[in-house]
C-alpha cells in the first residue's frame, strides 16, 4: 500500500504541474524518475519510452502506466493514471460546464501561458541533450538519431513516427546484431517487483481488439448516446499515432460532424486544454461535458474520459508482462539500441517543431529562454519549480 500511495503522490504532483504536452511530459518523467527518485535507470526509461512511442494512444499516459505498474503492480498503474489525469480532467469538465452556461473561450498567448511554453522548451532541450549522451554513444547511433529527426521534420506526417521507430529497430538488428550491445541497463537489469501474469496480459490484448471491432456492431443493435460517445472515444484512442495533438482531427470528426459539439465549442476546449497541465487526451472530458446523456455533464465526461484512455490501459498492461522477458533477448536488445536512438531523434524533432516553433517568436522570447535554461542547467533548480516560476514571471514580462 505504501508503494501505491507513493506512486499516487508523485504522479499527482506531475498531474498538477506538467504543462506542455506529451513531449514535455516525457522530459518531466525523466527528471523525476531517473534523475530524482531513481525509480528507473536510463536504460529502463529508454526501453519503456520505445514501447510507448510504438503503441497508438497517449504516449505520456502510457509511460506513466508503465512506471506505476513496475513500481506497484496493477494498483500502482491505476494510481499513476488517476493522479496524472484527474486534475486536468476536472478542470476541463468545469470549463465545459461553464461554456454551456456562459459561452466564451480562452485567449491564447497570454503572458503566463507564454512563459510556460518557453519553459517547456528548456526542459525538453535538457532531456534531449542528456539522452543523446547516454543513448547515442558512437557515430552509428548518432546517425540513426539524426536520420530519424530529419525524416520527421521533412515529412510532417503524424504516423511517420511509427515508420521511424520500425526503421530504427531494423537498423539496430542489422548494425548491432552479434555485437556486444550494452545490457547493463534496461528492463532486463533486475526482476520486476510485481508479476502481473501473462494470462492477464493476454486477456487485456484480446479485449482491446474485441472492443475495437465489437463496439460498432453493438451500436447497431443497441444505439444510444452513451454507447455512441464511448465508442467514438475508444476508436480515437485506439487509432491515433503521434500523441495528444494528433487526436484532435479524429475527435473533431467524431463529435463535431455528428453535431454533438459545435466547432466553436470544440476550439474553445482546445484552447483550455493547452492551458492546463496533464495529458491532452483529457480534452475528451471537456467534450463529454457538452454531450447530452445520463448523469449530466459529469456522467458523460467520465464516459468519454474512460473511453479514450481505455485502449492505452489494455495495450500497455497487456504487453508489459511479456515485455519484461522479451527485452532480455540479444536480438531484442540490438533492435532496441536502434529504436532508442531513433526515439532520441523523434524527441529532437519535436523539440524544434512544434515546441520551439510554437513557443519562440521574438527576441524577448529568446532572452526569456536563456534565463530559464540558466536556472535549470547552471543553478540546477528543480524543473517543476522553474516551470511554475516561468508562468508567474511570464505574466508580467511577456
CA 368 to chain centre: 26
Contact 293, 226 (CB under 8 A): yes
pLDDT on residue 324: 67
CA distances from 351 to 4, 51, 202, 219, 383 (A): 33, 20, 36, 41, 17
Grid coordinates representing 111 are 503572458
Instruction: Using alpha carbons, select from 285, 296, 321, 311 the residue that is nearest to residue 73.
Output: 321
pLDDT on residue 15: 92
DSSP state letters, 53-102: HHSSS-HHHHHHHHHHHHHHHHHHHHHHHHHHHHHHHHHHHHHHHHHHHH
Distance CA 85, CA 294 (A): 22
Grid coordinates representing 242 are 503521434
Three-state secondary-structure class, residue 193: coil
| Packing angle of the helix pair 363-377, 111-135 (nearest 10 deg) | 50
pLDDT on residue 94: 94
Distance CA 192, CA 319 (A): 14
Grid coordinates representing 159 are 504516423
pLDDT on residue 241: 60
pTM metric for this prediction: 0.71
Contact 227, 217 (CB under 8 A): no
Contact 343, 149 (CB under 8 A): no
Grid coordinates representing 258 are 455528428
Contact 183, 333 (CB under 8 A): yes
pLDDT on residue 159: 66
Distance CA 277, CA 374 (A): 23
Backbone angles phi, psi at 8, to 5 degrees: -60, -45
DSSP state letters, 94-122: HHHHHHHHH---PPTT-HHHHHHHHHHHH
> Mean pLDDT per segment of 10 residues, for the chain of length 398 residues?
88 87 81 87 82 79 90 90 95 89 57 79 82 87 94 80 85 83 45 59 92 89 85 86 61 83 79 79 93 88 95 89 75 84 85 81 93 90 80 87
Phi-psi sector, 222: left (phi>0), alpha (psi -120 to 50), beta: beta
| DSSP category for residue 248 | H
Instruction: Using alpha carbons, select from 260, 262, 250 the residue that is nearest to residue 291.
Output: 260
Maximum CA pair distance of the chain?
65
The CB density around residue 4, as the number of other CB atoms within 10 Å, is 19
Phi-psi sector, 40: left (phi>0), alpha (psi -120 to 50), beta: beta
Q: Using CB atoms within 10 A of its CB, is residue 361 exposed (0-12), middle (13-18) or buried (19+)?
A: middle
- Count how many Cα atoms sit within 13 Å of the Cα of residue 129 in the half-sphere of its side chain: 8
For residue 395, give the H/E element and its range: helix 383-397
Distance CA 278, CA 380 (A): 24
Amino acid at each position: 500500500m505504501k508503494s501505491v500511495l507513493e506512486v499516487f503522490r508523485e504522479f499527482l504532483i506531475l498531474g498538477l504541474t506538467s504543462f506542455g504536452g506529451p513531449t514535455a511530459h516525457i522530459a518531466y518523467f525523466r527528471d523525476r524518475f531517473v534523475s530524482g527518485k531513481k525509480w528507473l535507470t536510463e536504460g529502463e526509461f529508454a526501453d519503456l519510452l520505445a514501447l510507448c512511442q510504438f503503441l497508438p494512444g497517449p504516449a505520456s499516459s502510457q509511460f506513466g502506466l508503465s512506471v506505476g505498474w513496475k513500481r506497484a503492480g496493477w494498483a500502482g498503474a491505476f494510481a499513476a493514471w488517476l493522479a496524472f489525469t484527474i486534475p486536468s480532467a476536472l478542470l476541463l469538465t468545469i470549463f465545459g460546464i461553464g461554456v454551456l452556461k456562459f459561452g466564451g473561450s480562452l485567449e491564447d498567448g497570454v503572458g503566463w501561458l507564454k512563459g510556460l511554453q518557453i519553459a517547456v522548451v528548456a526542459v525538453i532541450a535538457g532531456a534531449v541533450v542528456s539522452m543523446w549522451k547516454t543513448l547515442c554513444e558512437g557515430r552509428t547511433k548518432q546517425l540513426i538519431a539524426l536520420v530519424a529527426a530529419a525524416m520527421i521534420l521533412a515529412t510532417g506526417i503524424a504516423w511517420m513516427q511509427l515508420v521511424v521507430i520500425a526503421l530504427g529497430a531494423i537498423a539496430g538488428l542489422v548494425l548491432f546484431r552479434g555485437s556486444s550491445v550494452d545490457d547493463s541497463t534496461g528492463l532486463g537489469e533486475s526482476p520486476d517487483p510485481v508479476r502481473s501474469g501473462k494470462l492477464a496480459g493476454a486477456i487485456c490484448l484480446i479485449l482491446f481488439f474485441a472492443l475495437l471491432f465489437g463496439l460498432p456492431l453493438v451500436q447497431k443493435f443497441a444505439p444510444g448516446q452513451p454507447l455512441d460517445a464511448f465508442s467514438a472515444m475508444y476508436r480515437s484512442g485506439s487509432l491515433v499515432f503521434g500523441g495528444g495533438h494528433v487526436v484532435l482531427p479524429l475527435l473533431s470528426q467524431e463529435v463535431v460532424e455528428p453535431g454533438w459539439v459545435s466547432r466553436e465549442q470544440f476550439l474553445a476546449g482546445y484552447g483550455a486544454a493547452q492551458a492546463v497541465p496533464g495529458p491532452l487526451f483529457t480534452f475528451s472530458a471537456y467534450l463529454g461535458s457538452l454531450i447530452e446523456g445520463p448523469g449530466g455533464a459529469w456522467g458523460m465526461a467520465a464516459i468519454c474520459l474512460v473511453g479514450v484512455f481505455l485502449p492505452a490501459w489494455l495495450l500497455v498492461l497487456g504487453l508489459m508482462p511479456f515485455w519484461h522477458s522479451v527485452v532480455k533477448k540479444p536480438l531484442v536488445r540490438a533492435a532496441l539500441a536502434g529504436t532508442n536512438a531513433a526515439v532520441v531523434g523523434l524527441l529532437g524533432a519535436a523539440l524544434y517543431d512544434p515546441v520551439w516553433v510554437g513557443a519562440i517568436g521574438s527576441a524577448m522570447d529568446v532572452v526569456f529562454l536563456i534565463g530559464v535554461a540558466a536556472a535549470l542547467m547552471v543553478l540546477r533548480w528543480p524543473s517543476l519549480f522553474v516551470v511554475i516560476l516561468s508562468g508567474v514571471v511570464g505574466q508580467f514580462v511577456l
